[in-house]
Amino acid sequence: MELSVVVVLLLVVPVSLAQEDLEGKVFVFPKETDTDRVILRPTITEPLKKVSVCLRSYTDLSRPYTPFSLATPGKDNAFLFYLQPPNTFSMHVNQEVTHFKTASENLDWRHTCVIWDSDTGVVQLWVNGKLYPRRGSMKGSSIAAETSIVLGQEQDSFGGKFDPKQSLVGEISDVHMWDYALTPEDVQKTYYGDFHGNVINWKSLVYEIKGGVLIQPKL
């Protein structure tokens, strides 16, 4: 009986699933593929009516790419970052897209925060601590609790089907997510590394690596 229990546990727990403090580390996406990605597995029990996501990314890509993709069943772009160099940032909330014109990217780390509040529909984009003019999207909507969250690829279906021409080649670090709207003071604390997510927390990250993604020290 005891042996049977052990076998069942081994079958249901993914071997590559990890929970780790990644302070001072990065995920490196070394090449253009439709396989390399990091799957995040937070516990979300209720539909999300407010979402804040912050992360740092570093790339020299001149083509479009996706650092963060949250899909739900039936909505592959439920909460998606889509960057089109040199100066367009597209944010999707439940399939509706909002475009921001940003400063041209330099070869440097980029700290990005996106905040969406269903009560007002307001979408905020903060880049390196700077707020861009606010937009509106999907007022009164909610994001389903059943989520698939992927770093480095855009999901064209729930949990799968990726386009290598939209993949990230570069580095990602300091990924955090909250189930509420950050204040400007919160964003500044996050920018300086002093505020951590209550849904996704880089210092206690539950993740699974697929393909050739590497964990390396942040340089």
Domain boundaries, the chain: 20-217
Q: Cβ(146)–Cβ(72) under 8 Å?
A: yes
- With a pLDDT cut of 90, the percent of the chain lying above it is 88
Q: What is the pTM of this model?
A: 0.90
Residue 16's pLDDT band (cuts 50, 70, 90): low
Mean pLDDT of 75-98: 96
- pLDDT tens for each residue of 159-194: 878 999 999 999 999 999 999 999 999 999 999 999
Residue that is written with structure tokens 């580095």 in the block: 171
Residue 33's identity, in one-letter code, is T
Q: CA–CA separation, 141 vs 118, rounded Å? A: 6
Residue 86 per-residue DSSP state: T
Give the 3-state secondary structure of residue 39.
strand
Q: CA–CA separation, 142 vs 145, rounded Å? A: 9
Strand partners, 72: 75
Q: CA–CA separation, 72 vs 138, rounded Å? A: 15
Q: How far is CA 35 from the centre of its chain?
A: 17
Question: The domain at 20-217 falls in which architecture?
Answer: Sandwich (2.60)
